[in-house]
Chain A
Amino acid sequence: MGEEEGLHQTQLLDTMFVRGLKRKCFDGEEDIEGTLAGFKAIPSYNLQRQSLLDMSLVKLQLCHMLVEPNLCRSVLIANTVRQIQEEMTQDGTWQMINTQSAGQTSLDRLVSTDILCRSSKEQAEGKLVPVYSTFTKDCEGTQSQDNSEIMSTVTSPQAPRNLQSNMWEMENPQENRGNFQKSLDQIFETLENKSPNTVEDLFSEVDNSYYDLDTVLTGMMSNTKMGHCDVLETFPSQTTTNSNSNCKSDLNELDHIVEILVES
């Protein structure tokens, strides 16, 4: 099926949508100032949520490598990713990622438990999900790696993202609200460059850095009304690979933020 076509459509849709609403946002000057003010006091919430998402995606990838993963665990992880996705969709972060790298694979395919739960019978029936082969190919080189470093790299949202798009199949462009190819590419890049070790080791140790995560992520859903701040906060790390500067200093970026705000 026409990947290119699907890709095109999504991009087109996004631009149209954003343009059509752009002006309305500038009417609300206060809003923008408010968000800017909020941006100065960045809560680390979004970064940590991103880390959790990255961690979950790595776990899912490892599940995919197994013929028969622990189904309960896989389903729970997939649901966690869905939940993060939902929240990011609500606060606009998801669309932003989508805008940045429109047209890459949807996370939906990854979260899909279909891949996790294939039985031999279903494979024989030809219900094998096409993406799976891609996954395996991508993962083949990752069977062995150094573990301590991976976790820190993988979970650090500040690490440079590989924006090069690697086309996975898209079935429903409309449903593809966003994707994590970026982060996945990065994950794989990291995994592949490491010295031999076992996959199991990857999660065998508790990374102390996550103790900070705990405090933020646990019980945070009750106060998630961070509003536009969220969008601003993740924006720099998500968009720019070369600049770590604050986004308020960059007018173009600010312009873009506005687009996103409007879209959400």
Chain B
Amino acid sequence: MIPGFGNLMQDVLWCFSQVKGTIDIGVTEADIISTVEFNHTGELLATGDKGGRVVIFQREQESKNQPHRRGEYNVYSTFQSHEPEFDYLKSLEIEEKINKIRWLPQQNAAYFLLSTNDKTVKLWKVSERDKRPEGYNLKDEDGRFRDPSMITMLRVPVLRPMDLMVEATPRRVFANAHTYHINSISVNSDYETYMSADDLRINLWNFEITNQSFNIVDIKPANMEELTEVITAAEFHPHHCNTFVYSSSKGTIRLCDMRASALCDRHSKFFEEPEDPSNRSFFSEIISSISDVKFSHSGRYIMTRDYLTVKVWDLNMENRPIETYQVHDYLRSKLCSLYENDCIFDKFECVWNGSDSVIMTGSYNNFFRMFDRNTKRDVTLEASRENSKPRAILKPRKVCVGGKRKKDEISVDSLDFSKKILHTAWHPSENIIAVAATNNLYIFQDKVN
């Protein structure tokens, strides 16, 4: 047993499984991963990058003759989801960067996902084809029409097997509805609608309708000089299709009920923690700005991430979170530098494990953190290529705060702030995690006995 790792999740030991992406030292901007998402079964894992590409990995079937080797994720499909565009009205370049990917629940053999950049949401269908029809009557094998005079007999077309082909086709394009940058998309549990949120507005869409959407939240003040707050993230309740939450740059969360009114400008619940006067500084507001909000799978809790902490809120208690976890409290004394170099505006995301008992979020220096809600134990792990041998157990890392630095500890001043883990994903039912570290995707699994 590794000291310090303790009983996290009943002795789960994380070990390295795979790393995707180049090992090149020079990182191309376009290759930086900007979102990671498992589908609802965990069979597929999608990443989006700053170059507008979506890469889908599929978990291979576990082989019986190699029981220690568990299903690895291999590239299933890669496609260009968004292209750079130019808005001629604004003389503005619209980046192709994929801000979010959300899977739709699978309903047939094909997979569907939503991907979005700053302005446009797209619905993609990813489907397999391993057979092709042969023996048409009016067309030849190349698809050209046959000379009718040559057609002397009627034949029945047949399906012939061919090499497996995975096709990604854009099925819907939801454009022109956002003036500001889209930060979140969320599929509703009715599976017929989804929402897209930008800095000031949230729109509700039907999957079948691309030319109109309902504006359900609008916090844009009549006079923009009075603007002091923006929407930072939004998500639907996992089971109640009328309920959603959105978080703000002032550290608050609003829960809205779409049954109450068409425009949800009045929230039904307002989650806010009173400020701790002993920790007040000029940076208080910036660090309390919420960068991500996630409902638990059960729908009972919401988790929010701000710059220094992760908080878990009970839907039934609005005045304070039921749990607060420090992600990297040692940065509290470095806030001015982090403000100067803009790191303080980094948007870290957070995820639940399948049973809502553990939460995970990222930090700097390619570190990421896990918090066990039951045992209250936490661990810092590192996504790095060193000791990335197959099934090598991840060593817990420790950041030294003042005083003497012990062996294996890293001091706060030597943390690399350019290596940040903003996006992570947790398999919906197993202990498999995907961690995006700049242009690399790391996959870790729990150790098999």
Enumerate chain A interface residues (CB-CB to B < 8 A). Answer: 49, 52, 55, 67-68, 70-73, 75-76, 78-80, 82-84, 108, 112-114, 117-122, 151, 203-207, 210-211, 213-215, 217-222
Q: Are A55 and B339 closer than 8 Å at their CB atoms?
A: yes
Q: Are A76 and B341 closer than 8 Å at their CB atoms?
A: no
Q: Are A71 and B285 closer than 8 Å at their CB atoms?
A: no
Q: Are A217 and B228 closer than 8 Å at their CB atoms?
A: no
Q: Are A114 and B336 closer than 8 Å at their CB atoms?
A: no
Q: Are A113 and B227 closer than 8 Å at their CB atoms?
A: yes
Cα–Cα, bound, A68→B350 (Å): 27
Cα–Cα, bound, A121→B183 (Å): 21
If A76-B286, A218-B283 touch, whether A119 touches B179 (CB-CB below 8 Å) is yes
Q: List 24 A-B contacts (CB under 8 A).
A: A49-B282, A52-B339, A67-B90, A67-B92, A71-B180, A71-B230, A73-B342, A76-B285, A76-B289, A80-B282, A80-B286, A113-B224, A114-B224, A114-B225, A114-B227, A151-B340, A210-B340, A211-B334, A213-B336, A214-B335, A217-B282, A218-B283, A218-B333, A219-B281
| Residue numbers in B under 8 Å from A118 (CB-CB) | 224
Q: Which of B281, B285, B341, B417 contacts A218 (CB 8 A)?
A: B281
In the complex, besides A75-B230, A217-B282, A217-B283, 13 extra interface pairs with C-beta distance below 8 angstroms are: A78-B228, A79-B285, A113-B227, A114-B227, A117-B200, A120-B90, A203-B340, A206-B337, A210-B336, A211-B336, A213-B337, A214-B336, A221-B281
Considering only residues 341-396 of chain B, those with a C-beta below 8 Å from chain A are 341-342, 345
Cα–Cα, bound, A82→B228 (Å): 10
Interface-lining segment among B65-73, B258-266, B272-280: B272-280
Considering only residues 178-200 of chain B, those with a C-beta below 8 Å from chain A are 179-181, 199-200
Interface string of B276-298 (1 = CB under 8 A from A): 01111111111001000000000
The answer to whether B445 has its CB under 8 Å from any CB of chain A is: no
Q: Are A206 and B340 closer than 8 Å at their CB atoms?
A: yes
Name the residue on A nearest B345 (C-beta): A73
Q: Are A222 and B278 closer than 8 Å at their CB atoms?
A: yes
What's the nearest-Cβ distance from chain A to residue B184, in Å?
12
| Residue numbers in A under 8 Å from B332 (CB-CB) | 218-219
Q: Are A70 and B181 closer than 8 Å at their CB atoms?
A: yes
If A207-B340, A214-B333 touch, whether A76 touches B180 (CB-CB below 8 Å) is no
If A114-B224, A207-B340 touch, whether A219 touches B91 (CB-CB below 8 Å) is no
Q: Are B285 and A83 closer than 8 Å at their CB atoms?
A: yes
Counting chain B residues whose Cβ lies within 8 A of the other chain, the interface size class is: 35 or more
Q: Which of B278, B282, B417 contacts A52 (CB 8 A)?
A: B282
Cα–Cα, bound, A152→B391 (Å): 48
What's the nearest-Cβ distance from chain A to residue B128, in Å?
39
Q: Are B282 and A219 closer than 8 Å at their CB atoms?
A: no
If A79-B228, A114-B225 touch, whether A72 touches B279 (CB-CB below 8 Å) is no
Cα–Cα, bound, A133→B265 (Å): 34
Q: Are A68 and B280 closer than 8 Å at their CB atoms?
A: no
| Residue numbers in A under 8 Å from B225 (CB-CB) | 108, 112-114
Q: Are B279 and A75 closer than 8 Å at their CB atoms?
A: no
Interface centre among B90, B223, B230, B336 (most CB of A within 10 A): B336
Q: Are B227 and A219 closer than 8 Å at their CB atoms?
A: no
| Residue numbers in A under 8 Å from B339 (CB-CB) | 52, 55
Interface string of B311-350 (1 = CB under 8 A from A): 0000000000000000000001111110111100100000
What's the nearest-Cβ distance from chain A to residue B251, in Å?
11
Cα–Cα, bound, A203→B87 (Å): 28
| Residue numbers in A under 8 Å from B340 (CB-CB) | 55, 151, 203, 206-207, 210
Cα–Cα, bound, A118→B223 (Å): 11
The answer to whether B115 has its CB under 8 Å from any CB of chain A is: no
The answer to whether B249 has its CB under 8 Å from any CB of chain A is: yes
The answer to whether B167 has its CB under 8 Å from any CB of chain A is: no
What's the nearest-Cβ distance from chain A to residue B260, in Å?
27
Name the residue on B nearest A59 (C-beta): B342
Q: Are A221 and B284 closer than 8 Å at their CB atoms?
A: yes
Name the residue on A nearest B342 (C-beta): A203
Q: Are A72 and B179 closer than 8 Å at their CB atoms?
A: no
The answer to whether B34 has its CB under 8 Å from any CB of chain A is: no
Q: Which of B228, B280, B334, B336 contacts A113 (CB 8 A)?
A: B228
Q: Are A120 and B87 closer than 8 Å at their CB atoms?
A: yes
What's the nearest-Cβ distance from chain A to residue B236, in Å?
21
| Residue numbers in B under 8 Å from A218 (CB-CB) | 281, 283, 332-333, 335-336
The answer to whether B218 has its CB under 8 Å from any CB of chain A is: no
Cα–Cα, bound, A113→B286 (Å): 16
